[in-house]
Structure 1
Amino acid sequence: MRQVSLLARRAKGAVLNRESDDKLCAGMPGWPALLDASQMMSIPANPRHRPASRLHAMLLAVLLVLNACQLDPSPTQSTPPATPDIDATKRPSSTPHSQKAEASPSPTQPTSELGVEAEDLKDVVVSFWHPWEGSAEVLISKLAADFNRTNTWSIKVQAASQEGFDGLDENMRAALERNDPPGLVTTYVYQALGWMQGTSSGLLIKLEPYLTDPIWGFDVGEIEDFPPAFWQSDVVEGRRLGLPAGRSAQLLYYNVTWAKELGFESPPATPEQFKSQACAAARANTQDDNPDNDTTGGWIISTRYSTLLGWMEAFGGEILTATDQGYQFNTSSVNQAFTYLRGLFDTGCAWLAEEQSSEEQFAARRGLFAAGSLTGIPLQVKAFELAGNQDQWTVIPFPSPRGQPAIAAYGPSFVVLRSTPAQQLAAWLFVKWLTTPENQVQLALATGYFPVRNSSMELLAEAAADQPQWIAALDLVGYARPEPNLRSWNSVRWAVSDAGIQLFRYYFSSDQVPALTRLLQQTAADLRSTK
């Protein structure tokens, strides 16, 4: 019987638990919307199985004497000042139907290959499940009502919140047992892949035929309007299984005011510059007259998998193989990233915040840098307000020794489930309408996600002008790297977090990094083999 690593055992015990992860902040009780419900109404509609390891017991004993893995608790959340409405005169007009879809096919016109005529769509009902609550749920209901009222086919969308990704997962599995799933879902693609078992193996439909259809699909310009990192993240083993609904990202928060006081006029572009600034901040706190902040001041360590992915990718790590068939953690790039991070810790230039949230510590000048998410920006703004701190701060990518900075992007997608041809096309048409630039602006304001269209970002830059950190994040979209989209990632991600916890244990040393990444590699392979 094979020995089982602690990384594997804790991954086996993990549940989806999106509510405790900052990825599920959009529009939920834990996420302060950028726009309240009344303002959204004023915007025109137009416009977890942790695996067996083969490593021997001695390695486990040395490397994995870990406490139970716990996610950082979510701090109390509140709503930031609302963003102004968008001037409808500056937005392109949009209706939930296409002129080319209304035209009757003729010998000189393109014809659809989907086998569904426009009249087949009349009074078709689409059940749409999503995870959002609060103001985001209100907006989704409004958008569905707008689509129902204005689409020329009389399609009816019934939108229903499942109260988070965990609730969505639980309710989906129950619906599959009843053979009564919805026709459209907003979820992470790897989560949806977990539903494809047994009789549900063909649950997710490929979207390429809809995307490229000459009547009902996108044109080339529309496809090119999606940032590549967002667009490609829903393609699994050559099949497009989703269309981006919104994207968040893990990045670094940076105290500009304090950095300038320390003599640094610009954010760090390389790991060495990052270390220089972090160490200077640590020395400043050690040498001041406040003994309570000794041993703080550099980078406030985060062991979340999204943070670790950002560092790995900045160091050149390609987490999936070239064919997306497996994981690559035991590489020189990942080893270099882990060795660098451990070195920051060993020199006192990075530290673990255990008593207070990283938002509170960052606002108290106990860190020049902190890892945070796009959707967590309002929490950090609020923390500065509560601390009475007037420092200017911004967001930056993870610095790279290769001149290729990175931010780790992730987020839910629209996934069409197998039903009748007419219902599938009706769901696709609603998705296509939801991803129009003006609707994406509304979704971004309600959820805190990046919009998934470049043209939406241009509109949003004006609407969110009073959110400087959020606007700064828009400029980093070009550095986005998507997280893995394999079904096993739902468990492997927790093993990555466990490796991060191990990396900063007091008994760990830099010369053990290769053994740690080998163990992580084996753990990921074992988890994938069980999926």
Structure 2
Amino acid sequence: MTPTLAVESLRGVEVHVWYPWVGTLDEVMGRLAEQFTRDNPWGIRVHVRSAGSSMVLADWVESGQPDGETPHGVVAPPATLLTWHLRDGRMRPLNDWLNDGELGLSEARRAEIPLVFWQSDQVDGWQIGLPAQRSATVLVYNLTWAAELGFHAPPQTPEEWREQACAAAAANRRDADRTNDGTGGWLVNTDPLAALTWMRAFGLRHEWDASTERLRFNQPAALAAWTFLRDLVDSGCAWVGRDPSPYAYFAQRRALFYSGEVLDLAFQQQVMRRQESVDVWTVRPYPGQDKPLVMISGLSYGILRTTPQTELATWLFIRWLMEPAQQAALVRAGGGYPMGPSTAALLEDYRASLPVWNEALGLIPIAQIPPNTPAWRQAQWVLQDAFAQALQGTTPRESLPAILEELDATLAEVVQGF
């Protein structure tokens, strides 16, 4: 399939693009849409709209928006795009346009975007989306506090992470501040990507069985990961905060490290300054069994099937958004990874203002992706519930294997149709 529609036929075509971004990212997308509408040589007019969240956006696409408007392009999680492609046939695959000599991305531009950023949107040889925003799971770690505790290098193994977590918890128990008793160590995070990264770190492999179309987390590696983390909780070396946000806890030395994302880094720096903390901090990968790892997350551009003219007009807008200048504007507004060196070169001031971001860039070569299946869209929340149950102090430790068994059984029912 190759493009045959003449771009001259696009004058006056209206393109509607929906995304979940709010705040500064919403404002930047509005300005970019205005710029493209004003300057593009084809006379395409772009209208953008924030749904406020990925869940609301999916509901609008699947159930209809109250005012009857429908989108032509979307910014959505890869698992959502894969669902709309495989289950509903809504998505327009992008292979032909990507590789088109006139309308596509140049070979050099495609090559500089890390392969792992592309893989989240690939299925059965089709490229269903393009990376719009990419982040990764990381362990945010306080170097200064660790050094005061006697640790002059970041942990490399699970046992070293345990040792430092317990030392931090013990320090908070011993100091004169009684309000921080019971804190320190790892701040528990049951986010599904954090759960999956810990499980992969302990050796979880091939959790998606394509032959049976089932997710299988009930593996010895998953039990080992859950047992390790539950031991941290039971020994007082990990704790659950009342505030779902980790930033203040970290700045106040209530946590030596927490499971965060690259998207968190600018927020963490702002809170460190607001709390007047002078601690030096960094990001570390999860301690893998064979090698360390991080897990890629983020949002992707996708094109919904409509008419040839509208699909092509939407593609031209998304292709323009993929250019380094526009990508750099989005990173400044919302954080995350640049899509290759050309974008990073436009962000030297951002790099200088957020040194830890530069450290996060070095983790891209060891990044993995979540299960590349529509089933992950729903399965992640089932995993989160099971993981949270496993880490609750009121859950008997001997029940962890049964929770894993129940997790797989529940997933077999939940993911049917995805």
Does the TM-score normalized on the shorter chain lie above 0.5? yes
Report the CA distance between 1:357 and its aligned residue. 4.3
Aligned length: 417
Contact residue 440 and residue 452 of structure 1 kept, 8 A = yes
For residue 71 of structure 1, what is the aligned residue in structure 2?
A: none
The 1:218–1:134 alpha-carbon spacing in structure 2 relative to 1, beyond 3 Å, is same
Q: Give the 5 Å matches for 1:394-473.
A: 394-403=282-291, 405-473=292-360
The 1:353–1:120 alpha-carbon spacing in structure 2 relative to 1, beyond 3 Å, is same
1:334 to 222, 225, 228: 222
For residues 285 and 397 of structure 1, what CA distance do their matches in structure 2 show? 25
Contact residue 242 and residue 413 of structure 1 kept, 8 A = yes
State the AA in 1 paired with 2:376. Answer: W
For residues 396 and 116 of structure 2, what CA distance do their matches in structure 1 show? 35
2:19 to 98, 121, 130: 130
For residue 152 of structure 1, what is the aligned residue in structure 2?
A: 41
For residue 382 of structure 1, what is the aligned residue in structure 2?
A: 270
Q: Give the 5 Å matches for 1:252-263.
A: 252-263=139-150
Contact residue 169 and residue 183 of structure 2 kept, 8 A = yes
For residues 328 and 372 of structure 2, what CA distance do their matches in structure 1 show? 25
For residues 27 and 290 of structure 2, what CA distance do their matches in structure 1 show? 44
For residues 27 and 303 of structure 2, what CA distance do their matches in structure 1 show? 22
1:225 to 96, 101, 112: 112
The 1:237–1:180 alpha-carbon spacing in structure 2 relative to 1, beyond 3 Å, is farther
Report the CA distance between 1:395 and its aligned residue. 1.6
For residue 363 of structure 2, what is the aligned residue in structure 1?
A: 476
For residues 172 and 265 of structure 2, what CA distance do their matches in structure 1 show? 25
Structure 1 stretch 161-170 or stretch 444-453: which is displaced more?
161-170
For residue 370 of structure 1, what is the aligned residue in structure 2?
A: 258
Q: Give the 5 Å matches for 1:16-165.
A: 113-165=2-54
State the AA in 2 paired with 1:189. Answer: P
Report the CA distance between 1:244 and its aligned residue. 0.8
Report the CA distance between 1:179 and its aligned residue. 8.2
For residue 500 of structure 1, what is the aligned residue in structure 2?
A: 387
Contact residue 277 and residue 298 of structure 1 kept, 8 A = yes
For residue 232 of structure 2, what is the aligned residue in structure 1?
A: 344
SS of the residue aligned with 1:471? helix
The 1:458–1:483 alpha-carbon spacing in structure 2 relative to 1, beyond 3 Å, is farther
The 1:518–1:257 alpha-carbon spacing in structure 2 relative to 1, beyond 3 Å, is same
The 1:447–1:383 alpha-carbon spacing in structure 2 relative to 1, beyond 3 Å, is closer
SS of the residue aligned with 1:141? helix
Could you report, residue by residue, the CA deviation over 1:317-370 in whole angstroms, capped at 9, with x for unpaired residues? Answer: 236436494323112222221121112222322222236743222222121111
SS of the residue aligned with 2:215? coil
1:523 aligns to 2:407 (yes or no): no
Contact residue 137 and residue 193 of structure 2 kept, 8 A = yes
State the AA in 1 paired with 2:233. Answer: F
The structure with the greater share of residues assigned to helix is: 2
Contact residue 189 and residue 415 of structure 1 kept, 8 A = no
Contact residue 251 and residue 310 of structure 1 kept, 8 A = no
For residues 235 and 63 of structure 2, what CA distance do their matches in structure 1 show? 51
Contact residue 318 and residue 328 of structure 1 kept, 8 A = no
For residues 355 and 363 of structure 1, what CA distance do their matches in structure 2 show? 14
For residues 395 and 529 of structure 1, what CA distance do their matches in structure 2 show? 37
TM-score w.r.t. the length of structure 1 is 0.73
For residue 242 of structure 2, what is the aligned residue in structure 1?
A: 354
Could you report, residue by residue, the CA deviation over 1:204-263 in whole angstroms, capped at 9, with x for unpaired residues? Answer: 111112222233223332222111221100113443211111012222111110111112
2:400 to 505, 509, 513: 513
Contact residue 319 and residue 329 of structure 1 kept, 8 A = no
For residues 401 and 123 of structure 2, what CA distance do their matches in structure 1 show? 29
For residues 85 and 146 of structure 2, what CA distance do their matches in structure 1 show? 50
Could you report, residue by residue, the CA deviation over 1:60-101 in whole angstroms, capped at 9, with x for unpaired residues? Answer: xxxxxxxxxxxxxxxxxxxxxxxxxxxxxxxxxxxxxxxxxx
Report the CA distance between 1:131 and its aligned residue. 2.1
For residues 137 and 56 of structure 2, what CA distance do their matches in structure 1 show? 24
For residues 508 and 477 of structure 1, what CA distance do their matches in structure 2 show? 36
For residues 212 and 500 of structure 1, what CA distance do their matches in structure 2 show? 42
Looking at CA atoms only, which structure, 1 or 2, has the larger radius of gyration?
1
For residues 158 and 491 of structure 1, what CA distance do their matches in structure 2 show? 30
For residues 301 and 186 of structure 1, what CA distance do their matches in structure 2 show? 30
- Aligned residues with identical type, % of pairs: 35
Structure 1 stretch 389-398 or stretch 377-386: which is displaced more?
377-386
The 1:178–1:206 alpha-carbon spacing in structure 2 relative to 1, beyond 3 Å, is farther
For residue 310 of structure 1, what is the aligned residue in structure 2?
A: 197
2:57 to 158, 165, 168: 168
Structure 1 stretch 514-523 or stretch 161-170: which is displaced more?
161-170
TM-score w.r.t. the length of structure 2 is 0.91
Unmatched segments (≥5 aa) in structure 2: none
State the AA in 2 paired with 1:285. Answer: N
For residue 283 of structure 1, what is the aligned residue in structure 2?
A: 170
For residues 151 and 235 of structure 1, what CA distance do their matches in structure 2 show? 29
For residues 513 and 237 of structure 1, what CA distance do their matches in structure 2 show? 35
Contact residue 237 and residue 323 of structure 1 kept, 8 A = no
SS of the residue aligned with 2:353? coil
Contact residue 344 and residue 350 of structure 1 kept, 8 A = yes
Unmatched segments (≥5 aa) in structure 1: 1-111
The 1:272–1:323 alpha-carbon spacing in structure 2 relative to 1, beyond 3 Å, is same
Contact residue 209 and residue 215 of structure 2 kept, 8 A = no
Provide the alpha-carbon RMSD of the alignment.
Answer: 2.6
SS of the residue aligned with 2:185? strand
Q: Give the 5 Å matches for 1:176-215.
A: 181-193=70-82, 201-215=88-102
Contact residue 461 and residue 471 of structure 1 kept, 8 A = no
SS of the residue aligned with 1:310? helix
State the AA in 1 paired with 2:362. Answer: D
State the AA in 1 paired with 2:134. Answer: R
